[in-house]
Amino acid sequence: MWIFSFIPDAFLYYAIFGVIALGVVLYIIGTFTSLIPTIKPYADVIKSIAVITVIAGFYFLGGYGTELEWRNRVEDMQAKVAKAEEQSKKANTKLDGKAQEKIKVIREKGLVVKQYIDREVTKYDNQCVIPKEFVKAHNDSAEKTK
């Protein structure tokens, strides 16, 4: 049945109905050959081939219908995927904006802490004691931002 995807639809449709029509015509020929005594032994063979041809034609007609149904489902799913991709792009732009805002806040907070450290360290630069303000500022800079 996978070969249906390579054959043009219009040709395949007419070919299947041609096979069914051929089977019907063969059956009629087989019926009339049973009336002619010289080829009467071949009548059953011709009828058998006709029945097999008609059955095969209807089998392929059903397979073709299934193939068309699957093609429609694939097209529907591709449309849904395209819509989901578009929504995903919109959501990603919103998330990127929020992430940039958070990065900006973190950088500003780090800059404030850095300025505070520079301001407080200069007060105690001559001494070798680590002031509580410096330890507090260091701990604040290491704290996770929420």
pLDDT at residue 146 is higher than 50: no
CB 26 within 8 A of CB 46: yes
Q: How do residues 67-92 score in pLDDT, each as one tens digit?
A: 889 889 999 999 999 999 999 999 99
Rounded to an integer, the average pLDDT of 127-144 is: 73
The pLDDT score that the predictor gives to residue 128 is 66
SS3 content of the chain, % helix, strand, coil (to 5): 90, 0, 10
C-alpha distances in Å from residue 114, one per residue of 111, 117, 134, 138:
5, 5, 11, 9
CA–centroid distance for 34 within its chain: 57
